[in-house]
């Protein structure tokens, strides 16, 4: 018992001395020798016992020291066990407890504990078990915890309250909150009752990291065990759930509290007003404000300030002013916090005159405005870019309050945003003169703003000039500069800075890796982008959802469709729930890769998951539906988008109009076109081109012309695609002369024709048998360095052959093949016919055999022309072969007609 608590040793010793002293006092009060003699004997007995106890304690301490020396001499093994056995064959419980309390290695403690249990050949006492658990708590090693708790459960006793609290507090101090939660669950598994303080300490720690579900589990466990929960605990849980936006759970806890006959105090009401208001539930905040007054609780300064802040944030300034005036009634001393909040509200709403008026009112009441009030105004002026006014307020501020480091940081931020770098350096100098040395936040603001203003040389200069002893760059400093360099295309410099970051023992976070990865891909260095991702995983940095979304977007844009699919699956494999951006990237990537038909399933998967579609997501899905031919579904989504409050953009209208135009629903497309204009959207060339293409393809040339005319009246410049759409429509309508006029207009408007433009014109001229004119355009096209398509080659070869320019046609045909072109059936038939008519029978026959060998179809007309040419050239054998093929072709055509 003496060793269970070292304090007992002192108390025991003191008690003995106290008894001896008292006995001596009694002796002095006695009148007989007998009394004096009795007291003397008693004193001698007590002194003897005290000396005996001291000797025993010294012996135990010496033994504990010897055991600890043996245990510290090396790892556990037969040699250690043998040495321990020689020291003490059967250690006593107090001796075991003393050793365990001295040990600092959990594994060694467990080994000694097991050895002692075997030697005593009986279950060790509860205090020994608790001492072992305390070793685990101090060393934060819990490998054997469940096993030890199981043994304690069988023995019929559990951890003491102090041990339980120590176990949980050590986890909390090391921020291992999940382990602490698991410890409590392990205790409950063996039906132990964890200490009340262990629960409350862990719930408080979990509230700081917003682990609401774990908190709620512990809270309900406390109630099941029979602990009486307090209003304070309810308040802690309600605050976390409300801040997370899980308002139903917060309200449910409020109802539970009321059903348990707890009365809400002013702290709880203040928490509800603040938290519900900050997530946008202003009416709920109002309800709590009025409810507390109805229950006889008078709003305090915190209540009023919270309510004013909530109303200002919700742009309900008039109501905020009303509450502010209520608070100010009959108040002698102004509440500085409420004034600051109201000033911030006026500033955020752009009502700076009212903010200045409130400052003067505060002064009139004898309360000098604090630096916070001025900082609020300066922050709001910075948001709207009123730099000169901010500098004027800064000068005025010096009369009332000394500028703080935050004040100078706000001004530096504003000046850097405005590009006035020299002025920013002057403010930084003034800061140093005022005895406020720039901190890392000042440096971070300057570097970040300069990077965003693309003034990288100045940003790099500030970084290099940093005094690393006074102000060391942190992760934010490196991140801003790495991102700025990367966006400017200086990815190698960004990577070198990343390596410098590693050398300075700064740990890059997911934001740094996201920036490096994205910028490598943007520079076309996708392999380096992939390496960055692998390096991040190798260094133990877990990717977040934003990084994975960015990586997936980059991969799709680089054309790696399957890799993009795999990354979407990796998002789920890593325990993330794909958000609306994840699905948008996947759908957009698949649509661009030609897999638009998968849009339907992905859209419903997104809906089932509960994703709330934003405008970007709607646009992506609508585009996918249109490109996969599901235009009706796209049209429905457009209407749904409007009903959900997401206003369709020009991208939305453009996708649906293009989809409708492609399936000849031109009247509906035109109605949407007019709707977009009536909604005030600025239409672009893409939408006009879609309509011109659609009307042109169905032969409605006049309407196509009218749309082109409107396009130019709006000040837009038709691009090459727009002109090609109109030219194609004119050619198909055999309006060749009009097409040539349009072509000239196109060149006059400085729009350079491409290979498609020339292909359309060459095809049109060949259609009306203007082969020589077509060849002129062909030569012009070649001079421009444009490579014709296979269709254009075929059209031109056939045209030249039909015009009798067989030499040119054959030369073009050979050039086409030499450039890797694959002539089709029409091309082969055209050149064979041309050569046959030009009496080049054997050349034609050679191509005839080549055509058959490649499996291309031979036309009956071609066979007749070639057979006739071969007969004239007296090539009897070849003519016979062509005749056989001709009969076969005729037979197959007859059979097809019969069928």
List the Cα angle 672/676/678 in 5-degree steps. 115
Per the structure block, which two tokens stand in for 221? 């466990």
- Asked if residue 300 lies in contact with residue 268, where contact means CB atoms within 8 angstroms, the answer is no
Distance CA 394, CA 886 (A): 98
Position with higher pLDDT, 71 vs 322: 322
- DSSP per-residue codes, 558-570: TT-HHHHHHHHHH
Predicted confidence at residue 115, as pLDDT, reads: 82
CA pair distance 176, 211, nearest whole angstrom: 13
Is the pLDDT confidence value at 124 over 90? no
- Higher-pLDDT residue of 316 and 31 is 316
d(CA 679, CA 895): 60
pLDDT of res. 531: 93
**Can you tell me whether residue 471 is helix, strand or coil?**
coil
Distance from C-alpha of 523 to C-alpha of 521, rounded to nearest angstrom: 5
Which residue in the block uniquely carries the two structure tokens 């494999």? 573
343 within 8 A of 336, measured Cβ to Cβ: no
* Mean pLDDT, residues 578-600: 87
Q: Three-state DSSP class for 260? A: coil
| The residue to which tokens 């850097």 are assigned | 416
Q: What is the pLDDT of residue 1?
A: 31
Q: Are 294 and 286 in contact (CB under 8 A)?
A: no
Q: Is 80:73 a contact under the CB 8 Å cutoff?
A: yes
Q: How confident is the model at residue 221 (pLDDT cuts 50, 70, 90)?
A: very high
Q: CATH 1.25.40.10 region(s) of the chain?
A: 300-402
CA distance 375 to 370: 9
Alpha helices in 768-840 (DSSP H): 771-783, 790-802, 806-818, 825-837
Q: Would you place residue 55 in the very low, low, confident or very high pLDDT band (cuts 50, 70, 90)? A: low
The answer, yes or no, to whether residue 48 has pLDDT greater than 70, is no
Q: Are 528 and 521 in contact (CB under 8 A)?
A: no
**pLDDT of 63 strictly over 80:** no
How does pLDDT run across 233-284, given as a tens digit for each residue?
999 999 898 888 888 888 899 898 888 888 889 999 999 999 888 888 889 8
Ranked by mean pLDDT, which of 75-84, 146-155, 191-200, 394-403 comes out on top? 191-200
Q: Which residues contact 44 (CB under 8 A, 6 or more apart)?
A: none
User: What is the predicted pLDDT for the residue at 220?
Assistant: 92
Quickly state the pLDDT bin for 570 (edges 50, 70, 90): very high
Class of domain 300-402: mainly alpha
Q: How far is the C-alpha of 712 from the C-alpha of 878, rounded, in Å? A: 61
Q: Give the start-end residues of each E strand in 519-623.
A: none
Q: What are 407's two structure tokens?
A: 């004040």
Residue 183 pLDDT greater than 50, yes or no:
yes
pLDDT per residue as tens digits for the range 834-871: 888 777 788 888 888 888 887 778 888 888 888 888 88
| Phi, psi dihedrals of residue 318, rounded to the nearest 5° | -60, -40
User: CA distances (Å), 286 to each of 236, 282, 475, 558, 747, in order?
Assistant: 21, 6, 41, 52, 67
Average confidence (pLDDT) over 42-48? 55
Q: How far apart (Å, rounded) are the C-alpha atoms in residues 789 and 55?
A: 108
Instruction: State the angle between helix axes of 510-522 and 491-503 in degrees (0 to 180), rounded to the nearest 10.
Output: 160
Q: Looking at the predicted structure, is the pLDDT value of residue 202 above 90?
A: yes
- Would you say 303 and 322 are in contact if contact means Cβ atoms under 8 Å apart? no
Distance separating alpha carbons of residues 38 and 27, to the nearest angstrom: 9
> Who's near 603: CB < 8 A, 6+ residues apart?
587, 621, 624, 625
* Distance (Å, whole) CA 282 – CA 273: 8
- Can you tell me the distance from the alpha carbon of 703 to that of 332, in angstroms, rounded to the nearest whole number? 76
Decide if 858 contacts 885 (C-beta within 8 A). yes
- Residue 569, pLDDT score: 92
Q: What is the pLDDT of residues 641-663, one digit of tens each?
A: 888 878 888 999 999 999 999 88
What mean pLDDT is reported for the chain?
A: 83
What is the pLDDT at residue 841?
A: 81
| Cα(137)–Cα(78) distance, integer angstroms | 27
For 646-758, strand residue ranges (E) read none
Q: pLDDT at position 821, please? A: 72
Average pLDDT over residues 510-527: 91
Q: What is the pLDDT, as a whole number, of residue 198?
A: 92
- Distance, C-alpha 217 to centroid of its chain: 28
Distance of CA 12 to the CA centre of its chain: 64
Is residue 845 a contact partner of residue 866, using CB atoms and an 8 Å limit? yes
pLDDT score at 527: 93
- What number of residues does the chain have? 899
Identify which of 102, 29, 15 has the alpha carbon closest to the alpha carbon of residue 65.
Answer: 102
C-alpha separations of 244 from 176, 240, 249, 280, 311 in Å? 22, 6, 10, 12, 19
How many Cβ atoms are within 10 Å of 539's Cβ, its own excluded?
11
Residue 212 CB partners (closer than 8 Å, separation 6+): 237, 240, 241, 244, 246, 249
Q: What confidence category does residue 767 fall into, taking pLDDT thresholds of 50, 70 and 90?
A: confident
Confirm if 599 and 590 have CB atoms less than 8 A apart: yes
Helix (H) or strand (E) holding 503: helix 491-503
Choice among 425-434, 485-494, 678-687, 794-803 with the minimum mean pLDDT:
794-803
Q: What is the DSSP letter of 228?
A: -
Least confident of 75-79, 450-454, 592-596, 798-802: 798-802
DSSP character for 597? G
Comparing 300-309, 461-470, 480-489, the range with the smallest average pLDDT is: 461-470
What is the percent of the chain where pLDDT is above 70? 91
> What's the maximum distance between 2 C-alpha atoms anywhere in the chain?
169
Q: By the 8 A CB rule, do 273 and 307 touch?
A: yes
pLDDT of residue 16: 43
CA distance linking residue 604 with residue 614, whole number of Å: 15
Residue 546 in this model has a pLDDT that exceeds 90: yes
């Amino acid at each position: 018992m003496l060793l269970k608590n070292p304090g007992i040793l002192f108390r025991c010793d003191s008690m003995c001395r106290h008894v001896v002293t008292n006995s001596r006092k009694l002796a002095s009060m006695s009148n007989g020798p007998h009394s004096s003699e009795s007291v003397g004997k008693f004193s001698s007995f007590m002194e003897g016992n005290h000396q005996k106890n001291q000797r025993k304690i010294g012996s135990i301490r010496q033994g504990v020291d010897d055991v600890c020396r043996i245990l510290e001499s090396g790892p556990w093994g037969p040699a250690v066990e043998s040495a321990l056995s020689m020291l003490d064959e059967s250690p006593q419980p107090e001796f075991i407890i003393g050793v365990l309390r001295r040990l600092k290695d959990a594994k060694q403690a467990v080994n000694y504990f097991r050895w002692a249990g075997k030697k005593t050949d009986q279950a060790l006492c509860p205090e020994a078990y608790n001492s072992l658990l305390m070793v685990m708590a101090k060393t934060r090693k819990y490998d054997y915890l469940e096993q030890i708790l199981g043994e304690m459960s069988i023995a019929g006793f559990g951890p003491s309250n102090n041990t339980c609290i120590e176990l949980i507090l050590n986890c909390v101090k090391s921020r291992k909150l999940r382990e602490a939660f698991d410890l409590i669950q392990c205790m409950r598994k063996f039906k132990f009752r964890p200490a009340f303080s262990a629960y409350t300490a862990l719930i408080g720690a979990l509230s700081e990291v917003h682990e609401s579900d774990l908190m709620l589990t512990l809270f309900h466990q406390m109630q099941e065990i029979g602990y009486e929960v307090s209003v304070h605990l309810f308040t802690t849980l309600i605050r976390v759930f409300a801040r997370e936006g899980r308002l139903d759970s917060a309200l449910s806890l409020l109802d539970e509290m009321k059903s348990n006959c707890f009365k809400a105090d002013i702290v709880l009401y203040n928490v509800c007003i603040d938290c519900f208001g900050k997530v946008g539930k202003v009416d709920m905040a109002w309800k709590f404000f009025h409810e507390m007054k109805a229950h006889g609780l008078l709003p305090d300064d915190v209540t009023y300030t919270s309510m004013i802040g909530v109303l200002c944030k919700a742009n309900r300034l008039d109501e905020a002013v009303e509450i502010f005036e209520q608070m100010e009634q009959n108040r002698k001393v102004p509440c500085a916090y409420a004034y600051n909040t109201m000033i911030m509200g006026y500033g955020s709403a752009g009502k700076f005159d009212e903010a200045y008026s409130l400052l003067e009112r505060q002064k009139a009441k004898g309360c000098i405005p604090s630096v916070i009030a001025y900082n609020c105004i300066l922050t709001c002026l910075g948001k709207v870019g009123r730099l000169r006014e901010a500098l004027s307020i800064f000068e005025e501020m010096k009369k009332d309050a000394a500028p703080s480091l935050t004040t100078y940081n706000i001004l530096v931020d504003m000046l850097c945003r405005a590009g006035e770098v020299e002025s920013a350096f002057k403010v930084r100098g003034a800061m140093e003169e005022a005895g406020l040395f720039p901190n890392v936040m000042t440096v971070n603001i300057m570097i970040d703003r300069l990077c965003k203003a693309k003034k990288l040389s100045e940003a790099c200069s500030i970084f290099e000039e940093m005094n690393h002893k006074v102000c060391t760059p942190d992760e934010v400093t490196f991140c801003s500069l790495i991102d700025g360099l990367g966006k400017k295309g200086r990815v190698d410099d960004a990577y070198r800075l990343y390596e410098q970051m590693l050398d300075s023992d700064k740990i890059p976070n997911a934001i740094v890796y996201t920036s490096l990865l994205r910028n490598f891909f943007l520079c076309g260095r996708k392999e380096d982008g992939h390496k960055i991702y692998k390096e991040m995983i190798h260094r133990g940095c877990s990717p977040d959802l934003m990084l994975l979304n960015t990586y997936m977007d980059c991969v799709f844009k680089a054309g790696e469709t399957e890799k993009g699919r795999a990354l979407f699956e990796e998002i789920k494999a890593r325990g993330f729930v794909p958000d609306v951006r994840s699905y948008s990237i996947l759908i957009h990537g698949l649509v661009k890769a030609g897999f638009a038909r998968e849009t339907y399933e992905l859209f419903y998967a997104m809906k089932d998951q509960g994703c709330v579609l934003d405008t970007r997501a709607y646009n992506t899905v609508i585009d996918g539906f249109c490109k996969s031919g599901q235009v009706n579904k796209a049209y429905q989504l457009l209407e749904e988008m409007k009903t959900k409050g997401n206003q369709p953009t020009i991208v939305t209208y453009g996708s649906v109009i293009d989809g409708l135009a492609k399936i000849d629903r031109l009247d509906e497309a035109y109605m949407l076109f007019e709707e977009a204009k009536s909604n005030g959207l600025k239409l672009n060339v893409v939408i006009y081109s879609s309509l011109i293409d659609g009307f042109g393809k169905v032969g409605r040339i006049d309407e196509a012309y009218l749309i082109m005319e409107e396009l130019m009246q709006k000040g837009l410049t038709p691009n090459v695609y727009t002109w090609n759409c109109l030219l194609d429509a004119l050619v198909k309508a055999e309006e060749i002369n009009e097409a040539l006029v349009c072509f000239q207009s196109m060149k006059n408007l400085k729009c350079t024709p491409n290979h498609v433009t020339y292909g359309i014109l060459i095809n049109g001229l060949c259609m009306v048998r203007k082969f020589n004119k077509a060849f002129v355009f062909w030569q012009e096209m070649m001079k421009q360095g444009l490579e014709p398509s296979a269709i254009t080659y075929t059209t031109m070869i056939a045209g030249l052959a039909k015009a009798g320019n067989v030499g040119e046609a054959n030369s073009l045909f050979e050039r086409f093949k030499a450039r890797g072109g694959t002539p089709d059936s029409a091309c082969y038939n055209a050149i064979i016919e041309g050569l046959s008519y030009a009496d080049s029978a054997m050349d034609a026959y050679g191509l005839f055999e080549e055509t058959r060998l490649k499996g291309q179809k031979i036309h009956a007309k071609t066979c007749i022309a070639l057979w006739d040419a071969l007969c004239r050239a007296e090539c009897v054998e070849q003519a016979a072969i062509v005749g056989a093929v001709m009969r076969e072709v005729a037979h197959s055509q007859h059979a097809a007609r019969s069928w």
